Structure formats: structure tokens, C-alpha cells
Chains A and B, each alone.
Chain A
């Protein structure tokens, strides 16, 4: 069973890792809907 397809996605990106918009592009390509995206700085 697919994990992302048709799911609502909350994205917590990292300014020093993978940022939110990059993860969003990936999730959209897997058929998911983005409901919230943020990019935090955890340092």
C-alpha cells in the first residue's frame, strides 16, 4: 500500500537540512496534497 498517495502532508523542513519546499516537490510527485509546510532553523 502506498504511504503518500492521496494523503494530506505536513512538512517540517530544516534550513540546514532539506528545506520545506524541496520536500513539497517530492511529496507532490508521489500524489500527495500539502496542507502545511515550514522550514525551521534548529541550530
Chain B
């Protein structure tokens, strides 16, 4: 994840409180989804950014996960996400992000 974004997410979490925050991902590849989900839960696995060794434990979902999709206005989802949902590895994305959420989220 971009190093400046890591710093900003750390700052926001410290100010607002991790329990009030949800992270939503739009990554196309399962491997990338896993890497980003790990960064905002257990810390930056590349040890390059502000979140290296900083387990924020944030609750993280991919936008295409069924429990998230169910809360979005269907017309908005259709317009903004449905097209990409048809071309990405939906099962792979859900597996990777839900696994990291179970392993690393504190909430």
C-alpha cells in the first residue's frame, strides 16, 4: 500500500478509534486484497510504511462481499460495481479478505 496512505490511515484510526472504522477494498486481484487487508489488520507485511509492526485490527471487507452488497442501494451497486464484479475472481477475493478479517480484526 502507498506509504502516504498508510500514514494517513494510522493517523485517522488514532483520532477516531478503530472500533468506529470499516475499511472497504476495491482490489481486482485476491493477492493484492490479502496484502492490503493484512496491512490494516496485522500491520504492513513489507515493513516499508507507517503500519509496519502496527496491528490496527481494523474490520476490513471487499466491496463485493455479500454482507456488504446487501446493505448498498441495488441501483447504485449496479451502476458502480456490477460490471467489475463480472470480471474479477469473486470467490478468491472473498476468501482472502474474510480470512484476514478473521485472523486480524479486533472487532
Contact = CB atoms under 8 A, between A and B. Distances in A.
Contacts of A25: 76, 79-80
B28 A14 contact: yes
Identify the 9 closest CB pairs spanning chains A and B, nearest first: A18-B26, A17-B28, A29-B73, A22-B80, A13-B26, A30-B71, A29-B76, A26-B72, A14-B27
Interface of B: 1-2, 5, 8-9, 12, 16, 20-29, 32, 36, 40, 58-59, 61, 63-64, 67-68, 71-73, 76-77, 79-81, 84, 88
Given A29-B77, A31-B71, 18 more contacts: A4-B22, A4-B72, A8-B21, A12-B25, A14-B25, A14-B27, A16-B28, A17-B27, A17-B29, A18-B26, A18-B27, A18-B64, A22-B81, A23-B80, A27-B72, A30-B72, A36-B12, A40-B1
B3 to A, nearest CB: 11
Contacts of A38: 2, 5
A22 B71 CA distance: 15
SS class of chain A's interface: helix, strand, loop or mixed?
mixed
